[in-house]
């Protein structure tokens, strides 16, 4: 397909409730991912999801790379193999995990309703607390209070639509995306602003909406718009993966 200025070079996208909906990956989403791949547009899921799930995405989805655990690592496909790019070594991660476990225990004590996420055994860098995946949804004000308590304890923290992610280190979605696009594809700030679209759904995507003016929010972002310093440039009418597919259909009309 000939490339014009309206076609991005890459799409960075959140996963939970952006590509998925109600815990599942809709068939419409998967078709949209294949359409983008066939059009020569690279898709990079950039997510707080655990390393185990990111490995599965990189192996089985038509994507260029996966940035996982909120920027802790990048997985690239090299033929049939995967190439991992880490930000910390194993001894550092083990030391951090002890501190994160202490903070998580205190948060679960101080904010009733939070629970350890069931995918923590598949995480390499961060630790996740469930606030809406397999527990009764915790009030948004309490989620924000938990984030404040984590920050006061010296821990990086952000909330997705289902988890509060805790980590130690100087990585983030925004930093990881800029580094990967720069080192692997020679893209500076201007090129990223012109040639990359970010798609997201929640307040933990705020930095990405600020960094990428060609941004899209799926419909379920609407309740979070008042809390975003810079809202997405457009919002879909459908939620989650259905909204992602809706936007791809506009980008690549049949």
Tell me what pLDDT residue 77 has.
Answer: 86
Tell me the pLDDT band of 175, cut-offs 50, 70 and 90: very high
Tokens standing for residue 167: 């980590």
169-178: burial string, b at 16+ Cβ within 10 Å, e else: bebbbbebbb
User: Does position 1 have pLDDT exceeding 50, yes or no?
Assistant: no
Which part of the chain is CATH 3.90.1070?
90-167
Q: What is the mean pLDDT of residues 153-177?
A: 95
**21-25 own/partner pairs: CB under 8 Å, 24+ apart:** 21/239, 21/240, 21/241, 21/242, 22/240, 23/133, 25/241
C-alpha torsion sign, points 234, 237, 242, 247: negative
What is the rounded end-to-end Cα distance, in angstroms, of the chain? 12
CATH hierarchy code of domain 10-86+171-251: 3.40.50.1000
Range(s) of the chain covered by CATH 3.40.50.1000: 10-86+171-251
Tokens for 160? Answer: 């997705």
Strand partners, 217: 200, 235
pLDDT band at 5 (very low <50, low <70, confident <90, very high): low
| pLDDT (tens digit per residue) in 129-152 | 999 999 999 999 999 999 999 999
90-167: CATH topology is Hypothetical Protein Ta0175; Chain: A, domain 2 (3.90.1070)
Q: Is the pLDDT of residue 3 over 60?
A: no
Going by pLDDT thresholds of 50, 70 and 90, the confidence category of residue 86 is: very high
Contact 68, 54 (CB under 8 A): yes
Provide the token pair at 192.
């990223």
**Which one, of 85, 143, 76, 89, lies nearest residue 112 by Cα?**
143
């Amino acid at each position: 397909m000939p490339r014009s200025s309206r076609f991005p070079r890459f799409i960075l996208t959140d996963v939970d409730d952006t590509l998925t909906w109600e815990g599942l990956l809709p068939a419409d989403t998967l078709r949209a991912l294949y359409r983008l791949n066939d059009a020569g547009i690279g898709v990079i899921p950039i997510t707080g999801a655990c390393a185990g799930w990111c490995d599965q995405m990189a192996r089985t989805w038509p994507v260029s790379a996966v940035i996982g655990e909120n920027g802790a690592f990048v997985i690239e496909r090299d033929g049939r193999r995967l190439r991992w790019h880490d930000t910390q070594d194993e001894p550092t991660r083990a030391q951090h995990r002890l501190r994160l476990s202490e903070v998580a225990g205190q948060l679960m004590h101080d904010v009733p309703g939070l629970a350890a996420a069931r995918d923590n055994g598949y995480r390499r860098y961060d630790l996740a607390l469930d606030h809406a995946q397999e527990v009764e949804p915790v009030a948004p004000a309490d989620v924000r209070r938990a984030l404040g308590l984590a920050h006061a304890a010296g821990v990086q923290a952000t909330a997705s639509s289902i988890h509060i992610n805790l980590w130690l280190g100087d990585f983030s979605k925004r930093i990881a995306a800029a580094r990967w696009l720069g080192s692997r594809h020679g893209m500076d700030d201007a090129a990223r602003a012109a040639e990359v679209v970010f798609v997201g759904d929640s307040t933990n995507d705020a930095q990405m909406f600020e960094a990428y003016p060609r941004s899209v929010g799926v419909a379920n972002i609407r309740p979070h718009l008042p809390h975003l310093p810079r809202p997405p440039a457009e919002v879909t009418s459908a939620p989650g993966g259905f909204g992602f597919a809706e936007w791809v259909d506009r980008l690549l009309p049949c």
